[in-house]
Structure 1
Amino acid sequence: MKYMLLIYGDELALSKTEREQCYSDSAKLAHRLQSAGQYLDASPLHLTSSASSVRVRDGKSLVTDGPFAETREQLGGYFLIDAEGLDAAIAVAEQIPMAKKGTVEVRPVMEISGLPLSHE
């Protein structure tokens, strides 16, 4: 089953050096997951200051700068994995470097028909 591991944290809490180390450690984890046949995708996100939020109401688009919600922790990146179950997905989430400083939300991915196949 596919799981999305959403990584939340205070995007200003890490120094540049700590952020680069986090990226390096995350890349190493991605390679270990690839070797185990669990890796599907992963990526950090740019800071929320680069975000735009889009809402369509009554056929009209409203685009605003910034994230959807003001929170203490922001969505900073993700891993998309294939795991045998929730316990296996949680075991991977525990290995994500930002789990030590923020939160990793583990959510199963719904499989629906009609979507194009990924570029695997």
Structure 2
Amino acid sequence: MQYLLMIYSQENRWNQMTDSERQQGVAAYQAYSEALTKAEALVGGNRLQHTNTATTVRLVDGKPQVLDGPYSDSKEQLAGYFLIDVPNLDAAIAWASRCPGAGHGIMEVRPVWTAPYNEPSAA
């Protein structure tokens, strides 16, 4: 089953770190990604750009309303994610707890909903 591991952290924290701390952080995420890959659990993942690059879109009276910035203001922002494929929620939680993001922010684990579909009938 696929799970999305979402990393929430304070955006400005990176700028407050020393070069050594940044190098350690990058190495920790590389090691984590390599462990997911070796376990054949990694489907994908990315770090996101800062919230000041976000655009919010919603329909108002059937027309798109486009606003700059994130949807909500909060202490932590969605900073990145890993999409993993593991047997169950316990395995997803175990991977989330190993993520470096759990040490400097909050990890949200959410199962990916797969829509049922009709398989083509054999002719």
TM-score range, shorter chain: 0.7 to 0.9
1:8 is matched with 8
In structure 2, the gaps of 5 or more residues are 118-123
Amino acid at match of 1:63: V
1:117 is matched with none
2:120 is matched with none
The TM-score normalised by the length of structure 1 is 0.87
Q: Secondary structure at the match of 2:58?
A: strand
Partners in 2 of 1:113 and 1:87 — Cα distance? 24
The number of equivalent residue pairs is 114
Superposition deviation, residue 95 in structure 1: 1.1
Task: Find 1:97's aligned residue among 91, 96, 100.
Answer: 100
Higher fraction of helix: 2
Partners in 1 of 2:62 and 2:18 — Cα distance? 42
In structure 1, the gaps of 5 or more residues are 115-120
Superposition deviation, residue 20 in structure 1: 4.8
The TM-score normalised by the length of structure 2 is 0.85
- Map Cα deviations across residues 70-99 of structure 1 (whole Å, 9 max, x no partner): 111000000000111111101100111121
Q: Determine whether 1:65 maps to 2:68.
A: yes
Q: What RMSD, in angstroms, separates the aligned Cα atoms of the two structures? A: 1.6
2:47 is matched with 44
Give structure 1 regions of 4+ aligned residues with deviation exceeding 2 angstroms.
14-24
- Map Cα deviations across residues 11-35 of structure 1 (whole Å, 9 max, x no partner): 1122263445333321221111111
Partners in 2 of 1:96 and 1:31 — Cα distance? 12
Partners in 1 of 2:41 and 2:5 — Cα distance? 12
